[in-house]
A and B are shown apart, each in its own frame.
Chain A
Amino acid sequence: MSDRPSTLRVGLVYPELLGTYGDRGNAVVLVQRARWRGIPAELVEVAADEPMPASLDVYLLGGGEDDPQHLAAANLRAGRGALDQALQGGAVMLAVCAGFQLVGHRYVLADGTVLEGIGLLDLETRASPDRLIGEVVVEPDAPLPRLTGFENHSGRTTLGPDLAPLGRVVVGGGNGDGRGVDGARHGRIVGTYLHGPVLPRNPALADHLLGLAVGDAALTPLDASLEERLRAERLHASTARGPRRWWQERLLARG
């Protein structure tokens, strides 16, 4: 590896357990947006039966089903030391949905079982009988523009008093605990309920994470016209009201 000391290593953590909703796309987008700027980058899959490496620059945790989430929780707890070491060394983390729940203290399941998280962020989640499913729009703090995504989860997440959300929910459920916010942001860790996956649909968030990993100076502009068209279309569709909403629902119901 000594001939490529500056390769950005983007880790896709437990893709077989936390990869149900296309979250691999987040890794693909970070690697490609680095490479297109001349920054060498590689996608590193961390398999569930491997020890957690401390040497990655970015750690991506995605969404998963119930049984896999239990297994992922146990493995993450075992890999907590390596994650701490990496984060203290400047690594970046994006935790989505099940992954977001697991970086908190705990997830209390519908039957009362407590799934212990890794407590990287001061938050906890409780299962709810109603699943939040659909398009989401989140208004984050500057400098990020509005984010679009798709959520599909039954967890309701409450942030601790000193933890900032990723943003205010404009459409959809987000954390779903009645405070009208989604996700969390703390240092180099970003958590969210947004799938889509979130980074292809929000290139600004992708570049924000890349900037945390390699420095903003390295982020030369990329042609984002296609991504911006998609983002605009999703924002337009998600915020439909009145007759436009009615027409949209009719169209979606058509076979």
Chain B
Amino acid sequence: MTRSLRTRFGVRAGEAAGWLSRVTGRGAGATISGRVINAVAPDALAELAGSRRTALVSATNGKTTTTRLLAAAVATNGRTVTTNSTGANLTSGLAPTLARDPDADTAILEVDERVVSRVVDPLRAELLVLGNLSRDQLDRYGEVHLLGDAWRAVSESHPDLAVVANSSDPHVVWAASPATVTWVELGLGWRSDAATCPSCGALLTWNDNRFACPACGFAQPDTPNRLDGDTLVLGDERVALRLGLPGRWNLANAALAVTAAHTHFAVPTRVAADAAGTVTTVAGRYMHVPLGDGRQARVLLAKNPAGWSEVLHYLADVDTSVVIAVNARVADGKDPSWLWDVPYELLRGHPTAAAGDRRLDVAVRLRYAEVDALVDRDPLAAARALPGETIHVVASYTQFSALYRRFGDRDR
């Protein structure tokens, strides 16, 4: 691949900035590195993308995991894949990923919800994988329907763009419809952001887990593709998803990834599903961390009510102590009022602790849910104070990143 002098210089400068960030302990380096590249060479993204095939994955929840599963599936086809495996998903995070693997013929990239519309053209993306949209960091991202409208603008201006999308999420359906879509029905556990029609604003009706608008006719598209328990039905095929990752939400992530790998990269469904099944940790999610007393913590990320609801329904059936570690920093959203949208009542009977900067908000929430909780700022100290061999630590974004920086394998 040929690169301009400017882009080559930008990449070198970015690498230096990333190295400085790592050695001074400020971060993993991808974001600052990308900012430097973009500042030195504004066209770098397009140039670095070059002629390779590029797929973008976005969603409020599950984008990092879906990206990882899709990359694993596509790599089985003999393709060389580059992917932003640590979740650096802003425009600044994408350039270093592409610069790092100039010879990879395929890029599978996770993209922040707000960034999708800005990178489809420079990256010449040929596939968009869209999972779900729900409330997240309302002080920063604004209202959910604005994100859906921004996605839809991409579909409207790219009617030939291939999209693999969840047909159960009204915002996603609204966003994807004008493009060339392969739907897969994944179900929608969290409906509190899908009350009104994205098209006309009327109240949506839900029957048998399907939505329809009685006012304008906007409705869930019909598709034979669906997640049926732990089986993905894809046209006439049924493929069992045997995952190394927990929870119903990861079955949905895998169903989306396998559908995309099969329909767009011609990977046989069984091969794609098996590749997805080999993944056991994704950028620190589900990693085990030693507690120093012979026991361990298992770390989960949950950063908004939709994600939390899924995690809680999973944990409710597991015999485990639970640490809830919540910050409300800029990257988390400074307003943790979403704690009251989450059914923490499901944790009754589990030994529980509240941790993080906003442990008192968590503790008050748990008090009203009638869940007894210890309070400790440090999530691992909190975990050590709870019984059990493996303690689940469910962390908000910056709590999670701190644990990942400390214990995660950066090369993974």
A residues sitting closer than 8 Å to B (CB atoms) are: 15-17, 19-25, 28-29, 32, 48-49, 65-68, 70-71, 133-135, 150, 152, 195-197, 200-201, 226-227, 229-230, 233, 251-255
B135 on the interface (CB 8 Å rule)? Answer: yes
Structural contact, A29 and B368, CB atoms closer than 8 A: yes
Structural contact, B341 and A150, CB atoms closer than 8 A: no
**Which of chain A's residues have a CB closer than 8 A to the CB of B138?**
20-21, 152
**Which of chain A's residues have a CB closer than 8 A to the CB of B314?**
none
Query: What 12 additional pairs, Cβ within 8 angstroms, besides A29-B368, A255-B329?
Result: A20-B143, A22-B337, A25-B365, A28-B368, A133-B334, A135-B334, A150-B337, A227-B364, A230-B360, A230-B364, A251-B329, A255-B331
Structural contact, A16 and B192, CB atoms closer than 8 A: yes
Structural contact, B337 and A21, CB atoms closer than 8 A: yes
Most buried by B among A22, A133, A196: A22
**Which of chain A's residues have a CB closer than 8 A to the CB of B201?**
67-68, 70-71
B3 on the interface (CB 8 Å rule)? Answer: no
Structural contact, A200 and B364, CB atoms closer than 8 A: yes
Residue of chain B at shortest CB distance from A49? B203
Structural contact, A19 and B364, CB atoms closer than 8 A: no
Q: C-beta contact mask, B327-371 vs A, less than 8 Å → 1, else 0? A: 011110011011111000000000000000100110111011110
Contacts A67-B201, A71-B201; is A17 near B195 (CB within 8 Å)?
yes
Q: How far is the CA of A253 from the CA of B357 in the complex (A)?
A: 13
- Residue from A67, A133, A233 within 8 A of B145 (CB atoms): A67
- Residue from A17, A22, A68 within 8 A of B340 (CB atoms): A22
Q: How far is the CA of A19 from the CA of B193 in the complex (A)?
A: 9
The 8 tightest CB contacts between A and B, nearest first, are A25-B340, A22-B337, A22-B340, A16-B195, A67-B201, A230-B360, A65-B143, A252-B329
Please, could you name 5 A-B residue pairs with CB atoms under 8 Å apart, sorted by A?
A: A32-B368, A150-B337, A226-B367, A230-B360, A255-B331
Q: How far is the CA of A195 from the CA of B330 in the complex (A)?
A: 18
B398 on the interface (CB 8 Å rule)? Answer: yes
Q: How far is the CA of A67 from the CA of B202 in the complex (A)?
A: 8
Tell me the residues in window 135-151 of chain B with beta carbons closer than 8 Å to chain A beta carbons.
135, 138-139, 143-145
Structural contact, B360 and A195, CB atoms closer than 8 A: no
Shortest CB-to-CB span from A201 to chain B, Å, is: 8
Q: How far is the CA of A227 from the CA of B363 in the complex (A)?
A: 9
Q: How far is the CA of A229 from the CA of B368 in the complex (A)?
A: 15
Contacts A24-B340, A152-B138; is A48 near B364 (CB within 8 Å)?
no
Q: How far is the CA of A254 from the CA of B145 in the complex (A)?
A: 28
B27 on the interface (CB 8 Å rule)? Answer: yes
- Residue from A21, A134, A233 within 8 A of B360 (CB atoms): A233
Structural contact, B337 and A197, CB atoms closer than 8 A: yes
Q: How far is the CA of A253 from the CA of B360 in the complex (A)?
A: 20
**Which of chain A's residues have a CB closer than 8 A to the CB of B143?**
20, 65-66
**Which of chain B's residues have a CB closer than 8 A to the CB of A197?**
337, 340
Q: How far is the CA of A207 from the CA of B363 in the complex (A)?
A: 20
Q: How far is the CA of A226 from the CA of B363 in the complex (A)?
A: 7
B196 on the interface (CB 8 Å rule)? Answer: yes
- Residue from B193, B330, B364, B367 within 8 A of A252 (CB atoms): B330
**Which of chain B's residues have a CB closer than 8 A to the CB of A133?**
139, 334
B401 on the interface (CB 8 Å rule)? Answer: yes
Structural contact, A68 and B195, CB atoms closer than 8 A: yes
Structural contact, A17 and B334, CB atoms closer than 8 A: no
B residues sitting closer than 8 Å to A (CB atoms) are: 27, 135, 138-139, 143-145, 192-193, 195-196, 201-203, 328-331, 334-335, 337-341, 357, 360-361, 363-365, 367-370, 398, 401
Structural contact, A253 and B368, CB atoms closer than 8 A: no
Q: How far is the CA of A135 from the CA of B135 in the complex (A)?
A: 19
Structural contact, B340 and A230, CB atoms closer than 8 A: no
Residue of chain B at shortest CB distance from A31? B368
Shortest CB-to-CB span from A151 to chain B, Å, is: 9
Residue of chain A at shortest CB distance from B201? A67
Residue of chain A at shortest CB distance from B205? A49
Q: How far is the CA of A63 from the CA of B223 in the complex (A)?
A: 35
Contacts A19-B341, A21-B138, A230-B360; is A67 near B368 (CB within 8 Å)?
no
**Which of chain B's residues have a CB closer than 8 A to the CB of A23?**
337, 340
Structural contact, A67 and B196, CB atoms closer than 8 A: yes
Structural contact, A65 and B365, CB atoms closer than 8 A: no
- Residue from B139, B337, B361, B398 within 8 A of A230 (CB atoms): B361
Shortest CB-to-CB span from A249 to chain B, Å, is: 9
Q: How far is the CA of A198 from the CA of B195 in the complex (A)?
A: 24
**Which of chain A's residues have a CB closer than 8 A to the CB of B145?**
65-67
Shortest CB-to-CB span from A45 to chain B, Å, is: 12
- Residue from A15, A25, A48 within 8 A of B337 (CB atoms): A25
Residue of chain B at shortest CB distance from A48? B203
Structural contact, A134 and B192, CB atoms closer than 8 A: no
Most buried by A among B192, B339, B360, B398: B360
Shortest CB-to-CB span from A126 to chain B, Å, is: 19
Structural contact, A229 and B360, CB atoms closer than 8 A: yes
Structural contact, A200 and B368, CB atoms closer than 8 A: yes
**Which of chain B's residues have a CB closer than 8 A to the CB of A21?**
138, 335, 337-338
**Which of chain B's residues have a CB closer than 8 A to the CB of A195?**
335, 337
Shortest CB-to-CB span from A101 to chain B, Å, is: 15
Structural contact, B338 and A253, CB atoms closer than 8 A: no
Q: How far is the CA of A156 from the CA of B150 in the complex (A)?
A: 27
Structural contact, B195 and A48, CB atoms closer than 8 A: yes
Contacts A24-B341, A195-B337; is A254 near B329 (CB within 8 Å)?
yes
Structural contact, A68 and B361, CB atoms closer than 8 A: no
Residue of chain A at shortest CB distance from B345? A28
Residue of chain A at shortest CB distance from B194? A16
Structural contact, A71 and B203, CB atoms closer than 8 A: yes
- Residue from B195, B202, B338, B398 within 8 A of A22 (CB atoms): B338
**Which of chain A's residues have a CB closer than 8 A to the CB of B330?**
252-253
Q: How far is the CA of A20 from the CA of B195 in the complex (A)?
A: 11
